[in-house]
Amino acid sequence: MQRYRVELRFKGSRYFGWQVQPGRPTVQGVLEECFSLFLRMPVVITGAGRTDTGVHASFYTAHFDAGDLPFSSDDVVYKLNRFLPDDISLLSILPVPEDFHARFSALSRTYRYCINTVKDPFSVDTAWYFPRPLDVEKMNEAAGLLLKYDDFTSFSKLHTDVKTNRCLIEKAVWEREGPLLFFTITADRFLRNMVRAIVGTLLEVGKGRLTVAGFESVIIKKDRGAAGSSAPAHGLFLTGIRYPGDPA
């Protein structure tokens, strides 16, 4: 058997996240059905990690094991894209060593959250419309504090099955592009709901309801109840996953 690395993108609006759930449409479920029909064998596809309901990915990786592909990799991508719905797109399928693992081999992941400060019917599903004034400078000052800590219990979904809430964040920054605000964060791993909880709490800083020192206090408390509400899922994108040997 040969292991293959899959690169893809998807719009998560109509899916209940990545992971298969009985009776609900998921990205993994759609892919496994299409791959199995195309290759005429049961195919289990392992993803780089879960995404919440409604979250998008402009770049996502997965892997599967199979024999030799019936066509060239490019032809397989082309043919499978004709089977897949319009909101899922394959970018590449490449053979990799058998010890490659889409989830456990990853060195870091990058998420981007998009806020639109003007009402735009064309970004309804991909950006959070938030017309209130925000102090982006203060939000960036608070975001920089995330790099000082490694326990993010305050921003984790409660009652998950993870063994540790420790993550190493290497980048957390807000940038403005016209009416759009983007929050980009890179870390070695992320907790369930972590990015959306961080964004929601940073917006409290931007609105003047929470000081920068207060934001740091939220981190230190390790209490989800101390943080702000989670930002809506539809503004969140997984944009990058880095593996050993990938270009810097």
pLDDT (tens digit, 9 = 90+) per residue, 227-237?
Answer: 999 999 999 99
Residue 204, both tokens: 């409290």
Q: Looking at residue 229, what is its pLDDT?
A: 94
Give 14's Cβ-side CA count (13 Å radius).
Answer: 7
Q: Which residue has the tokens 């017309």?
A: 131
Please say if the pLDDT value at position 96 is more than 70. Answer: yes
Q: Where does the chain show beta strands of DSSP type E?
A: 2-10, 46-47, 56-66, 88-96, 108-116, 128-129, 169-177, 180-187, 236-242
Please say if the pLDDT value at position 191 is more than 80. Answer: yes
Q: Domain locations in the chain?
A: 2-96, 108-241
Alpha-carbon distances of 166 from 171, 185, 220, 226, rounded to whole Å: 15, 15, 13, 18
User: In terms of C-beta density within 10 A (0-12 exposed, 13-18 middle, 19 or more buried), how is residue 22 classed?
Assistant: exposed
Please say if the pLDDT value at position 82 is more than 80. Answer: yes
**Please, what CATH class does the domain formed by 2-96 belong to?**
alpha beta
**Same fold yes or no, 2-96 and 108-241:** yes
Catalytic one among 52, 87, 151, 188? 52
What CATH number belongs to 108-241?
Answer: 3.30.70.660
Known active-site residue 65:
no
Q: Looking at residue 248, what is its pLDDT?
A: 65
Q: Looking at residue 164, what is its pLDDT?
A: 86
Instruction: Please say whether the beta carbons of 183 and 200 come within 8 A.
Output: no
Backbone φ, ψ for residue 167 (5° rounding): -140, 145
The whole model's pTM is what?
0.94
| Residue 163: band (very low, low, confident or very high) from pLDDT cuts 50, 70, 90 | confident
Tens of pLDDT, residue by residue over 101-132, are 999 999 999 999 999 999 999 999 999 999 99
Average pLDDT, stretch 87-97? 97
How does DSSP assign 34-91, residue by residue? HHHHHHTS----EESS---TT-EEEEEEEEEEESS-SS-HHHHHHHHHHHS-TTEEEE
Q: Looking at residue 247, what is its pLDDT?
A: 76
